[in-house]
Every structure is written in C-alpha cells, then in structure tokens.
C-alpha cells in the first residue's frame, strides 16, 4: 500500500508541475504549454483598430493557483524605454501592460492589474462600464524581465481575489482584456480592440472559458499605531485588526475591529466657499475591499448612494472626527444574482449607524439591481432611508442604456420627508468615429441622500444632447495621432421651473505622437439664476458668462515632465464685462529614475467673486490667490519609498461692496458692511513606507498643517508667505500592520 502511494506521488509530480507557472518574468514554453496565445493586438490609442507598431503577444492560462497571464513586448533600440520607477497606483506615462478581468463575464465589475516595465504596479476596480477606482489594493503576483529585443511580464491572479458567480458544468466564463502602452509615444494596443473612452468598455471584453477552480483565504491584519501631537503635547496608542474571510468565490466577509482610519494618505487642500460639498476619495482598506458591488452611481459626476467617507467623518456633535467601533461587510452570489451587506457603528452618544444592502441580477444583455441604505443619527434625532433601483441594457451592439430611480425617506423629530429622483443615459455608437449621447436627470427638492451618499445638489432637472467625432487617420508628419471633438448643448432648471443655465460646450481631446495630451474646452453659459448661493434666501439672477480651459500633459522626455492648466473665465454680476483667469504649471525634474522633484505655482484672479455672507447678503470681491504644489518622490527600492508633499495657499479678497437679492432676483447694492478678508492654508506631509510583506506595511508619517481666515487683506504674496507659519496641527504617526494569510 505504501509503495502504491509512493508511485502515485512520483507519477503525479510531473502532472502537477505542468500546472505550475513560476512567476519570474521569464516566459518558458513548457510552463505555458496549453495556454491561449494572443497575437492580434490592435491600436486603441489612437483608436484606429490598426495593428500596433510594435509586436506584442500574450498567453492566458488558468491554473489551480490562479489566472496566469504573460506578455511579451518587443521594443527595439530605436524606441526608447522608460526606466522610471513608479509608486503603487502610479499614473505616470511609462511602458506598461494592463490585464483586466471580469470574473463573472457579465460586464458589471472588472479588476484592472497594471505592471510597468520597471516592476511598478497599479490595481483598480472597474464599474459602470468605464469607471476606474484605484483606491483598492489587491494581493497578486507579478514579475518583469527584459533583454535587448524587449521585455516580458508574468502575472498570477489568485482565484480568491474577487467574488464570482458559481461555475457551470465545471467551467467558468471570464471577460478578459489585455493591453500594452508604449510610454514614449502613448500608443496603446489591446485585445480585444475595446476602449475605455467609449461608453461601452467592460461589456466588450473577450469571453474566455476556463476550468473551474476555487481557493479559500483567511487573512487577519492586526495593526498598532502611535500618534504624538506636538501642538497639544499628548500621545495616543491604538490597536485593532482587519479580517478577510473568503471560504470560496461565492461568499466573502470583511470585518474591522477598532479600525484605525488615521490618514497615512494626505488629501489635497481645498478652499471652498461655495454651497456644494467637495468630494474626496477613500483609500481606507476596509472600504475598498470588494466595494464594487455597492457602486450605485447617479450618473452625475461623483454622485453615488454609498459615499464611505461619511463613515468616521465629522461627528454630529461637532467634536471632530467620529470613532468607529466596528464595521462588517459581506458579499457573495447565488447563481447569477450577486449581493452585498455592509454595516458600521460609531462610538459615543453622537455615534451613527450606517447600513447598506445591495442585490444585482444578470439577464445577459440586461442587469437589474437594488440598493437600500439606512443611517441612524441619534444626536440629530434623524433616521435616513434611501432606496435605489438601477437597470443597464445593451439592446444592440450600438446602443447602451442605463437608468436608475431613487427615493428617500427622512424621519426627523417625528416628521417624514419623502422625495424621489431618476436618471437616464443613452449612448449610440454610429460608426465611422461618430457617437451620440442623451442624458436626462430629475432630482426632487426634498430628495436627501447625503446621510450616506454624495450628491452635490438636489432640486434640479437636467438634460443634454452630445455628439462626438473621432479622427485617427491623420497625416504621418502631423504632431498629433488623434483628435476627439465634442459638441454638447444642455439645459438645467430647478424643480420649480426656474432656469438655472443653458450651455453650449465645444471641446477637443487630442493625443500627440510624443505621448502628450492636449485638451481644450469652451463653455458658453446663458443668463440664468443661482439658487444655491444664498443657501435658501433667494435666487440671484446672473448675466451670461464664458469659460475657456486648456490642459497639456507632457510625459517625461529626458529629465523633465510637466503639466499645464490655464483657464479664462467670466462671471459674477459683471458677466462678460470682466474676465478672470487662472494658470498652473507643474514641472517635474527627474534626478534619477528613482528620484523626482516637482514644484509649481498656481495663480488665480477672479475680479467679480461672489461670496455669501448671511441671509440674502452677498459680498462682491476682487480675488487673487497664489498656491504652491511641491514635493518629491523617492522610490528607494522595490519595498521602500519616501515621499514629501507640500501645499500652501494664500488668498486675498478685497471687497467691491455688498449686495442683497431683491424681490425680482436682481442684485441690489447695500450699505451693509462687507469686509476684506484673506485665507491661509498649509498642508505638509513627509511619509516613509516600508513593505514588510504583501499588504503589510510600516509607516512613519510627519504631518503639519493649518487654516486661518483673517478679516483684513494683505498682498497676495504676503498672505501666501504667512501660510508657512501655520501650525494648527503637527503630528508624528508610526503605524505597523501585518497581514497573516491562513
């Protein structure tokens, strides 16, 4: 019996090794025997569909350890290679490959895995056809090698990386997309020839049938962090843990106990005197893991029903950020129905409870989903319930239609407030580079989703018609490889019939043959009413205005890269009689492939800036602001990085008088006092990160910042210079987290 077992093991070893792929960046034929071989890569940037200028091939192989993919990228000596080292989740224009996988093959959720020629990685979740969210970080394998003729990449994606539907008859159908980008030219070649610049992208992935494999995972990530506050002279020690359990592809659970949601990622500084809230992305691991199921976009910029920055955000009692006791999230699938449940509970008398439940079902060329959220806010005696239903339909290869309907029920102080909203967007690919889009939206004036979601405003009806034309057959001696022209007309009213805006938009997005991009956009806005400025104390009539914006992004050539933004804009009470402008130049100098320094100014002048004071009193100001964006990135080696990020803002606003909104909505000059003012803002972070193991890190972070608003004006440069003296916060944070895979 023992001899029979030994013989079985001996004979089984070659078979087992045939399934194994050694992820070392070297594509060995015996390892990839039986893999699907892909050679038909087509240009998608420019979107011509022609064969690529450089030969690219790939292999796809399903193994028990995961989905294995290899790329071979030929790149002769006359095509320079980008040697730049990049941080995780990089956006730099470098030589790279993309593997995108829709594990259910239904076009709802995809995962993007990017590897640069120098071994840097980026990963993201793709939802709503072409919406990329790179806040998610996954645990997957990759390796790169190069030689005189080109470079090679091997990737292994574990089967537990994402939730997936039950396989049928021992087979699983994946949606797969592969592409390769040449850093020095910006050329992108892909298989299939799909493009995220089109309305339909995720659902255009090629279907690949693979054997059914399943992996389980139990990962526990305890952490400990110590914070010393140098301004208040006190320290704080905190510990907790994250739990990730994936017994199979059909069920996954994530939990956080006493989570530390302190900032090791710094947000950009924003000075916002407007009536709408600034949207901020979320990098906290608990809220990025398996979050795609909860994506319920309202199809209006960043609007959504689950905005996770609400959890642990400013407390309802006004005493800083709320502490979170625990949070749990589970998702899975039954057949072609996917579901997700999430809950989070905050500490203290003002602590809130957040809950969300999501279900979606795939019908082939259609999918239907529902999301229910509930927030309990005892400090405000408020309970907020929001229900949304969304539908995606691909009736023909040319048409893509998405709709959703939402309703809110707010119970506060014993009174219910209810309202609803809806969105419809239809995209039509006409062929020959032509495409059209129709968009209609309605949000009632009592619709409230911002207890858990994000909507910049309610109380509006909006519609637009847009036509685009893509040009790719440009002369060989042209500096440009493609142009994408846009023409749009839109109408925006509030839900009471008040005309807020009519707009004509003309734009062009162009790709240059040296890898740079140009974008220009002109908006002509008709006269209309601003019903948000006075926060409910009357709508103000404003004359027509224009906005002309230009952006140039140039990747690294030699030791330099740069980004230029410039805008000429009118507005305020003077309309087109006075023109303001802003310009930002951000050059980056590469001291080496691993170390880069950037520093650039932003200057803004708004001659007719309207700022709400109180009730229906508006201040009219001549505004100047100066901002510095500077820092460095040092990728010490594949596991260590040191980063400095500095932002400083100085804003000077000199009054041009006070105005009240008259009974007819026109501005009426008043003698009410309106004072000059200035704003200073500073944010500085120095962060060292060491990767102890996959998704296990040591952070050492020093941060300093402050905000001050003074009721008098200085010169803009004086205000800017004084911002460096701000010291509302000065902290040193040390955090260690280590993931144990069981």
In a domain, 197, yes or no: yes
In a domain, 229, yes or no: no
In a domain, 416, yes or no: no
The DSSP result for 170-184, as a single string, is TEEEEEEEEEEE-TT
Each residue's pLDDT tens digit, 534-580: 999 999 999 999 999 999 999 999 999 999 999 999 999 999 999 99
Alpha carbon distance 602, 534 (integer Å): 28
Question: What is the chain's mean pLDDT, rounded?
Answer: 93
Mean pLDDT (whole number) for 641-647: 97
Per-residue confidence at 1, pLDDT binned at 50, 70, 90?
Answer: very low
3 state DSSP class of 575: helix
Each residue's pLDDT tens digit, 440-479: 999 999 999 999 999 999 999 999 999 999 999 999 999 9
In a domain, 115, yes or no: yes
Contacts 24+ apart (CB under 8 A), 418-426: 418/446, 419/444, 419/445, 419/446, 419/447, 419/448, 419/458, 420/444, 420/447, 421/298, 421/447, 421/458, 423/298, 423/299, 423/300, 425/299, 425/401, 426/399, 426/400, 426/401
In a domain, 429, yes or no: no
Per-residue confidence at 166, pLDDT binned at 50, 70, 90?
Answer: confident
Higher-pLDDT residue of 419, 291: 419
pLDDT at residue 266 greater than cutoff 90: no
Per-residue confidence at 4, pLDDT binned at 50, 70, 90?
Answer: very low
pLDDT for res 261: 54
Per the structure, how many domains does the chain have? 1
Cβ atoms of 452 and 475 within 8 Å: the answer is: no
Higher-pLDDT residue of 500, 271: 500
pLDDT at residue 430 greater than cutoff 80: yes
pLDDT for res 482: 96
pLDDT for res 2: 40
pLDDT at residue 331 greater than cutoff 80: yes
Mean pLDDT (whole number) for 578-597: 97
Quickly tell me which residue has 């929001």 as its tokens: 386
Q: What are phi and psi of 723, to 5 degrees?
A: -65, -25
pLDDT for res 16: 36
SS3 letters across 44-93: EECCCCCECCCCEEEEEEEECCEEEEEEEEECCCCCCCCCCCCCCCCCCC
Alpha carbon distance 300, 298 (integer Å): 6
pLDDT for res 12: 37
In percent, the amount of the chain with pLDDT more than 90 equals 83
Q: What are phi and psi of 7, to 5 degrees?
A: -60, -40
Mean pLDDT (whole number) for 218-226: 94
pLDDT for res 549: 98
Mean pLDDT (whole number) for 156-174: 91
pLDDT at residue 13 greater than cutoff 90: no
Per-residue confidence at 6, pLDDT binned at 50, 70, 90?
Answer: very low
Mean pLDDT (whole number) for 575-601: 97
**226 contact partners, CB below 8 Å, separation of at least 6:** 235, 236, 237, 238, 733, 734, 735
**251 contact partners, CB below 8 Å, separation of at least 6:** 163, 330, 331, 332
Alpha carbon distance 155, 136 (integer Å): 18
pLDDT at residue 259 greater than cutoff 80: no
Per-residue confidence at 11, pLDDT binned at 50, 70, 90?
Answer: very low
pLDDT for res 670: 96
Tokens of 551: 């952006």
pLDDT for res 498: 96
Each residue's pLDDT tens digit, 518-539: 999 999 999 999 999 999 999 9
pLDDT for res 298: 87
pLDDT for res 209: 95
In a domain, 61, yes or no: yes
pLDDT at residue 437 greater than cutoff 80: yes
pLDDT for res 260: 66
In a domain, 26, yes or no: yes
pLDDT at residue 18 greater than cutoff 60: no
Mean pLDDT (whole number) for 370-374: 98
* Domain ranges, residue 90: 20-211
Per-residue confidence at 270, pLDDT binned at 50, 70, 90?
Answer: confident
pLDDT for res 604: 98
Alpha carbon distance 666, 541 (integer Å): 6
Max Cα–Cα distance, the chain, nearest Å: 103
Q: What's the CA dihedral at 279, 285, 291, 292 to 10 degrees?
A: 80
**Could you tell me the CATH number of the domain that includes residue 49?**
2.60.40.1190
pLDDT for res 262: 55
Query: Taken in order 553, 435, 461, 490, is the CA torsion positive or negative?
Result: positive
Least confident range of 53-67, 331-345, 410-424, 513-527:
331-345
Which is nearest to 388 in space by CA: 402, 374, 369, 401?
369
Q: What is the pTM of this model?
A: 0.89
Per-residue confidence at 15, pLDDT binned at 50, 70, 90?
Answer: very low
Tokens of 481: 């490889």
In a domain, 337, yes or no: no
C-alpha 441: how far from chain center: 23
3 state DSSP class of 434: strand
């Amino acid at each position: 019996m023992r001899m029979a077992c030994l013989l079985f093991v001996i004979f089984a070893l070659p078979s087992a090794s045939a399934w194994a792929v050694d992820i070392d960046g070297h594509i060995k034929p015996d390892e990839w025997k039986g893999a699907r071989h892909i050679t038909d890569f087509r240009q998608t940037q420019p979107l011509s569909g022609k064969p690529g200028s450089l030969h690219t091939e790939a292999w796809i192989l399903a193994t028990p350890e995961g989905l294995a993919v290899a790329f071979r990228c030929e790149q002769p000596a006359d095509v320079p290679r980008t040697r730049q080292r990049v941080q995780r989740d990089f956006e730099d224009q470098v030589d790279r490959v993309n593997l995108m996988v829709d594990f259910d093959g239904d076009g709802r959720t995809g995962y993007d895995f990017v590897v640069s020629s120098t071994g840097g990685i980026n990963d993201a979740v793709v939802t709503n056809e072409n919406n990329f969210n790179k806040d998610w970080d996954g645990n997957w394998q990759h390796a790169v090698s190069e030689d005189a003729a080109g470079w090679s990449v091997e990737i292994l994606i574990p089967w537990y990386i994402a939730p997936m539907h039950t396989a049928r008859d021992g087979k699983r159908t994946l949606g797969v997309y592969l592409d390769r980008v040449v850093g020095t030219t910006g050329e992108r070649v892909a298989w299939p020839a799909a493009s995220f610049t089109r309305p339909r992208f995720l659902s255009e992935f090629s279907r690949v049938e693979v054997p059914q494999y399943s992996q389980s995972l139990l990962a526990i990530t305890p952490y400990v962090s110590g914070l010393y506050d140098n301004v208040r002279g006190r320290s704080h020690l905190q510990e907790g843990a994250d739990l990730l359990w994936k017994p199979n592809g059909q069920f996954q659970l994530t939990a956080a106990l006493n989570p530390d949601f302190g900032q090791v990622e710094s947000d950009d500084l924003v000075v916002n005197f407007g009536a709408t809230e600034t949207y901020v992305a979320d990098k906290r691991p608990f809220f990025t893991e398996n979050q795609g199921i909860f994506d319920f976009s309202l199809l209006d910029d960043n609007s959504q029903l689950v905005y996770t920055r609400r959890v642990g955000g400013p407390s309802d009692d006004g005493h800083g950020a709320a502490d979170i006791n625990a949070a749990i999230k589970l998702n899975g699938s039954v057949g072609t129905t996917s579901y997700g449940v999430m809950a989070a509970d905050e500490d203290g008398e003002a602590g809130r409870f957040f809950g969300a439940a999501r279900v979606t079902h795939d019908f082939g060329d259609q999918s239907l989903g529902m999301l229910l959220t509930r927030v309990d806010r005892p400090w405000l005696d408020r309970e907020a319930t929001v229900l949304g239903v969304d539908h995606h339909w691909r009736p023909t290869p040319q048409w893509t239609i998405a709709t959703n309907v939402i309703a809110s029920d707010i119970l506060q102080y014993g009174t219910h407030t209810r309202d609803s909203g809806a969105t419809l967007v239809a995209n039509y690919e006409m062929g020959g580079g032509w495409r059209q889009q129709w968009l209609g939206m309605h949000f009632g004036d009592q619709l409230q989703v911002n207890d858990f979601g994000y909507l910049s405003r309610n109380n509006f009806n909006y519609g637009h018609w847009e036509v685009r034309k893509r040009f790719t057959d440009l002369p060989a001696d042209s500096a440009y490889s493609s142009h994408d022209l846009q023409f749009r007309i839109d109408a925006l009213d509030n839900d009471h019939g008040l005309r807020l805006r009519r707009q004509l938009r003309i734009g062009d997005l162009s790709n240059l043959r040296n890898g740079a991009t140009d974008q220009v956009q002109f908006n002509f806005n008709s006269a209309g009413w601003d019903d948000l400025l006075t926060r409910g104390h009357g709508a103000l009539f404003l004359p027509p205005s224009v906005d002309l914006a230009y952006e140039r992004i140039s990747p690294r050539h030699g030791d330099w890269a740069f980004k230029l933004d410039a805008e000429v804009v009118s507005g305020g009470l003077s309309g087109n009689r006075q023109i303001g402008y802003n310009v930002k130049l951000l050059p980056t100098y590469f001291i080496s492939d691993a170390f880069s320094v950037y520093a650039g100014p932003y200057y803004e002048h708004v001659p007719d800036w309207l700022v709400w004071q109180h009730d229906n009193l508006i201040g009219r100001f001549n505004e100047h602001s100066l901002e510095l964006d500077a820092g460095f990135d040092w990728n010490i080696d594949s596991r260590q990085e040191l980063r400095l990020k500095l932002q400083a803002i100085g804003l000077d606003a000199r009054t041009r008088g006070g105005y009240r909104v008259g009974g007819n909505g026109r501005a009426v000059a008043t003698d009410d006092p309106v004072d000059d003012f200035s704003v200073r803002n500073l944010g500085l972070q120095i962060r060292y990160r060491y990767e102890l193991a996959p998704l296990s890190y040591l952070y050492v972070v020093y941060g300093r910042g402050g905000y001050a608003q003074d009721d008098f004006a200085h010169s803009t440069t004086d205000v800017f210079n004084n911002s460096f003296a701000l010291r509302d916060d000065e902290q040193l944070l040390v955090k260690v987290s280590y993931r144990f895979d069981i």
